[in-house]
Amino acid sequence: MTNRILTLISLAFLLACSAPRERATLAIATAANMQFAMQALTAAFTASSGIACEPVVSSSGKLTAQIRAGAPYDVLVAADLKYPQALFDEGLATAAPRVYAYGTLVLWTQLPGQTPTIDWLLTDTVRHVAIANPQTAPYGVAALEVLDHYQLHTALAGKLVYGESIAQTNQFIRSGAAEAGFTAMSIVRAPGLRDQGRWLEIDPRLYTPIAQGVVVVRGTPAREAQARQFVDFLFSATAQDILRNFGYRVAE
């Protein structure tokens, strides 16, 4: 009887040791416009909660496709509501998306001594104007709405170059491949980029509000609980101040 009990105890110990362990770090799928703000947000969250975070930065569409394919992300912090809503509709998110911030559109240039304006885009100095692909990126949609407002879409059609995401759009602007481009204010306010070039804030009344949503991705109860802690943190006073500092508008 004693040997049998010892055998059962040993077996239980081996099973416990071989059981899958929870990851120690939250994997946060992060839209490209949130790349720099997320660094500040996760640092503040980890400091207050003790939970480590690893942002994975890409376009919201690519991140959503990866989640559908089984990527082990715990949270999707998107650039819009479309993709997080799709995950919820498909049963891959625990709740409907919440709007954590509204994005702000700017016109940015790296040309020395140049202050960008909408009319300046028509000059011969500007040969290329970068925008994010409006088929997949909300900042691209907003940029086209602004051009339509000023009735410049047709006049600038030959100058427009489309980035696959806001990240590629930024590469076009920073490399000089495009003399100007429309991007997120969170980029031009990021540490290390604040002194690069000049930018013009676009009147937010000229484009549809860029509502950015967040969802908890379905996983184990323990992972979901930690992910909910992070989402709740996004709506805290600390996180909302960080988002404002990066140029996002938040609910007062």
φ, ψ of residue 48 in degrees (nearest 5):
-90, -25
Placement of tokens 């990527």 in the chain: 71
Res. 5: pLDDT tops 80: no
pLDDT-derived band of residue 196, with 50, 70 and 90 as boundaries?
Answer: very high
Residue 175 sits in a domain whose CATH number is 3.40.190.10
Determine the pLDDT at residue 22. 52
Mean pLDDT of the chain: 91
Contact by Cβ (8 Å): 83, 64? yes
- The count of domains in the chain is 2
* 100 contacts 77 by C-beta, under 8 angstroms: yes
Q: State percent of the chain over pLDDT 90.
A: 86
**Whether residue 52 is found in the same domain as residue 115:** no
User: 95 lies in which domain range?
Assistant: 24-102+209-245
Per-residue pLDDT tens digits for 39-74:
999 999 999 999 999 999 999 999 999 999 999 999
Same domain, 195 and 117: yes
Task: Please determine, for residue 246, whether its predicted confidence score (pLDDT) is greater than 80.
Answer: yes
Has residue 122 got a pLDDT over 80? yes
Indicate whether 112 and 55 sit together in one domain: no
| pLDDT value of position 213 | 98
Same domain, 119 and 184: yes
Q: Are residues 192 and 168 both part of a single domain? A: yes
Q: What whole-number distance in Å separates Cα of residue 18 and Cα of residue 21?
A: 9
Domain membership of residue 224 (yes or no) is: yes
Q: Are 95 and 29 contained in the same domain? A: yes
Look at 8 and 111; give whichever has higher pLDDT.
111
Is residue 19 in a domain?
no
**% pLDDT > 70, the chain:** 90
Structure tokens at 110: 């790296």
Average pLDDT over residues 223-227: 97
Residue 7 counted as domain residue: no
Residue 54 shares a structural domain with residue 124: no
* Residue 136: per-residue pLDDT: 84
150-172 pLDDT, tens digit per residue, is 999 999 999 999 998 899 999 99
Whether 3 is covered by a domain: the verdict is no
pLDDT on residue 24:
76
The answer as to whether 12 is a domain residue is: no
Map the chain to HEC letters.
Answer: CHHHHHHHHHHHHHHHHHCCCCCCEEEEEEEHHHHHHHHHHHHHHHHHHCCEEEEEEECHHHHHHHHHCCCCCCEEECCCCHHHHHHHHCCCECCCCEEEEEECEEEEECCCCCCCCCHHHHCCCCCCEEEECCCCCHHHHHHHHHHHHCCCCCCCCCCEEEECCHHHHHHHHHHCCCCEEEEEHHHHCCCCCCCCCEEEECCHHHCCCEEEEEEEECCCHHHHHHHHHHHHHHCCHHHHHHHHHCCCECCC
Other beta carbons within 10 angstroms of residue 144's beta carbon come to 16
Residue 185 lies in a domain: yes
Q: pLDDT value at position 252?
A: 60
Please give the structure tokens belonging to residue 120: 């300046």
- Residue 7 CA, chain-centre distance (Å), reads 52
